[in-house]
Amino acid sequence: MARRGFRWLATAAAVAAALVLMSFQAPAGADPVTGNATYFDALGSPYGGCGLPQAQLDSPDFVALNVYNTPGDYNFYPRPVTDASKTGQWNNGLNCGRFVQVSIGDYCTGVNDGATNQPFCRNGSWVADQYNNATLTMIVADSCGDSNAWCRDDPYHLDLAKDSLNRFARSGTPVGDMYPNHWNNRHISWQFVPAPSYAGDIKVGFLQGAQAYWPAIAVSHLANGIHGVEYYQVGAWQPAKMNSDMGQSYIIGGLTSGATSFQIRVRDAGDQLINGGRVYSFSLPAACGSTCSQPYTATTYTTSNGTASPSGPTSPPTSPPTSPPTSPPTSPPTSPPTSPPTSPPTSSPTAAPSGACTAASSVASSWNGGFQATVTVKAGSSPVSAWTTRWTFTNGEQITQLWNGTYSVAGATVTAHNASYNGSLAANASTTFGYTATGTPAAVTVTCTSP
């Protein structure tokens, strides 16, 4: 009955069989469409349908789209779907990574159990209430391919993340209590929209099992979805094959066959090369050894504007953080800060002595159950070639991600080292790194040493 957890539904159709068999691929900026809403608990493990772990999504608010559009036909068909007449809004993964703006509609007073060949909201009616027109912007991260009326009979059905239901907002204020007592089967209207408050650049990570002869990557933090990846090999651009229908995962190739250095460029939902054809250069991460064992291993990259560089990267890495917070900030961070925070740090740096360094931490943002922090490292009156920072959490906080550096944890003590590209600092120069963590933000004292 449910993919992972329960689905509770609402629909725009009175009778499932009356829906017209056709493929709906609503373009960005199109007028909203009306459908039904169900919910599910979480993405699967290790990946959602788009090929990303839940922790790597740009937003804690996510949806699943229908794989099939087969009213009255609940048979399984192989994926990717080859018959265009049976293709749902999932569009074989080509709508992955796009954002949708969802608006809450009427409440159903009848029976909505997703039974096959049965009308939705039977023995009841649709009524408006105080939750109508509450909205939330959500990212496409998963697919709905179940053999029930919800996933087959309504082409505009959305499956919503359960934890998002009470974050729908009216006039900027979350509704707070729509789920569970006021949810029961609702209409929704929705449309594709550009990524909200987009900043930074894409993120690239290798999937479990990736290695030189099966370099499977996931591309995320996209301004307008993803419709293709091309890789540079032996002097020419080659189209990469999508990894099944996981629309953000592609199997690329090295600069030469079997190489572990790669260059790619990416096409968006409009089939345009992103960032003017920007080329992203990276290698299989050292953490993978010969094969990546983790579900997702982030890699840093260098960029060049539209020109492949087979000799390898020449500019510093520009990739943003490897994952967003797993708990819902009001506005999730989409890229690491590029300058020290404007608010006063929670621990103030003092003048660094010759050959030494100081560090100060500040909380950049926080949300229920987590926060993002920035650490500023400053050299003294003499240059440093490397630096190490340490601090101890006092309230059980745990780091979920750290960028522009590497780190290790022993008990409550975190040790963070410079990355390969930001360890050398001129006298009195500074650099920053950032991290996200679970728990309640608190002032920490950060020490800095330099060999």
Residues 72 and 176 in one domain: yes
Q: In this predicted model, what pLDDT tens digit does every residue of 324-362 receive, in sequence order?
A: 443 333 333 444 433 333 333 344 344 445 458 999 998
Q: In this predicted model, what pLDDT tens digit does every residue of 78-96 receive, in sequence order?
A: 999 999 999 999 999 999 9
Whether omega for the bond prior to residue 337 falls within 30 degrees of 0, making it cis, is no
Whether omega for the bond prior to residue 174 falls within 30 degrees of 0, making it cis, is no
Q: Is residue 321 assigned to a domain?
A: no
CA distance 32 to 34: 7
Residues 38 and 141 in one domain: yes
* E strand or H helix at 152: helix 149-152
Question: Which DSSP state fits 117?
Answer: T
Residues 84 and 166 in one domain: yes
Residues 159 and 38 in one domain: yes
Q: In this predicted model, what pLDDT tens digit does every residue of 129-147 receive, in sequence order?
A: 999 999 999 999 999 999 9
Q: Is residue 6 assigned to a domain?
A: no
Residues 130 and 34 in one domain: yes
Of 193, 227, 257, which residue is a domain's last?
A: 193
Residues 295 and 400 in one domain: no
Q: Is residue 187 assigned to a domain?
A: yes
**What is the extent of the structural domain holding 170?**
16-193
Q: Is residue 428 assigned to a domain?
A: yes
Kindly report the CATH number assigned to the domain that includes residue 30.
2.40.40
Q: Is residue 407 assigned to a domain?
A: yes
Residues 182 and 256 in one domain: no
Buried b (16+ CB within 10 A) or exposed e, 226-263: bbbbbbbbeeeeeebebbebbbbbbbbbbbeeeebbbb
pLDDT on residue 366: 73
Backbone torsion region of residue 217, taken as left when φ is above 0, otherwise alpha when ψ lies between -120 and 50, otherwise beta: beta
More confident residue, 93 or 30: 93
Residues 69 and 166 in one domain: yes
What is the tally of structural domains in the chain?
Answer: 3
* 168 Cβ contact partners less than 8 Å away, ≥ 6 residues apart: 102, 104, 131, 134, 135, 136, 174, 175, 178
Q: Model pTM?
A: 0.66
Q: Read out DSSP for 354-372?
A: TT-EEEEEEEEEEETTEEE
Residues 39 and 81 in one domain: yes
Q: In this predicted model, what pLDDT tens digit does every residue of 306-325 receive, in sequence order?
A: 666 554 444 444 444 444 44
Residues 29 and 121 in one domain: yes
Residues 63 and 137 in one domain: yes
Kindly report the CATH number assigned to the domain that includes residue 383.
2.60.40.290
Kindly report the CATH number assigned to the domain that includes residue 266.
2.60.40.760
Contact call for residues 245 and 233 (beta carbons, < 8 A): no
**Helices and strands (DSSP H and E) totals, the chain:** 1, 27
Residues 169 and 243 in one domain: no
Of 141, 165, 193, which residue is a domain's last?
A: 193
Of 304, 339, 372, which residue is a domain's last?
A: 304
* 70 Cβ contact partners less than 8 Å away, ≥ 6 residues apart: 21, 77, 86, 152
